[in-house]
Amino acid sequence: MARPSAARALRALLLPLSPRSVPLTPRGPAASYGTSITSAKIQVNGVNLHYQQTGEGSHAVLLLPGMLGSGQTDFGPQLKSMNKQLFTIVAWDPRGYGQSIPPSRDFPPDFFERDAKDAVDLMQALKFKKFSLLGWSDGGITALIAAAKYPALIHKLVVWGANASVTQEDVRIYNGIRDVSKWSEKVKKPLEEMYGHEYFAKTCEAWVDGISSFAEKSDGNICQQLLPLIKCPTFIIHGEKDPLVPRYHAEYIQKHIKGSRLLLMPEGKHNLHLRFAEDFNRQVEDFLL
């Protein structure tokens, strides 16, 4: 198998922020049923977490973004087009990302567990007693941990672009995007506009260090031991052209979550939910029903 280049990995990681994926602007009350997207903050675990919410359905769904991501940059087509009569959709900005600043983002050894607790506590603060999780990339790892640790709260789980461990090959890919000065203007600009150059550059380097630290363990473990604890229905999606997350990560997750289902998208890359949004939304909605 050809090894993915750092440049390709960078493009895959940052494509959601390209002009084709214009961030949604929160709107006021809409004239038609349940189509408005509200934006607000709520204090959770000592942090004012920002979230967007849309829809009026009885099935609550939380969207969890990837590295340096936020609800509005990572999930435009889902916030806009998922069925708002069936679902209430919440997209959050994890602490230190998007509009959930302060605090500054950091990456202690338990940062995924911290995000999982924040995410679950956010939904409980919003009065959702039970909900499903849709997690992309880092958000997928967070969703796996949340589903394992808080099984009574999670209805169903969908993850894509996620991994339960970090290999030396993964570290090589991550180091290829460490220095943001080498990124093209096209991919740098939206992140610099959101965060400012210094915060963006510092946080990217810190993320590479934080995620790579898992590879220092003998098995590279992030959350492998938690996968058998996941009891809710689980749907894993993988883009076969994803240059950032090799296929074996998706296969490992599917193998270790009993009864889970794996869908391979032949033309999908890391951002398959944006590039093939209509197909993705349909597949996910069918699973959630």
Catalytic residues: 137, 242, 270
Q: Judging by beta carbons within 10 Å of its beta carbon (0-12, 13-18, 19+), is residue 178 exposed, middle or buried?
A: middle
Whether 146 contacts 133, CB under 8 Å: yes
CA dist 123 and 60 (Å) reads: 9
The backbone torsions φ and ψ at residue 219, rounded to the nearest 5 degrees and listed phi first, read -110, 5
Long-range contacts formed by 34-38: CB under 8 A, 24+ apart: 34/84, 34/85, 35/84, 37/79, 37/80
CA dist 178 and 74 (Å) reads: 20
**Beta pairing class for 87-92 and 47-54:** antiparallel
261-265 sheet: strands from edge to edge = 37-44, 47-54, 87-92, 59-64, 131-136, 154-160, 234-239, 261-265
CA–CA distance from 267 to each of 79, 161, 242, 261, 271 (Å)?
23, 14, 9, 19, 11
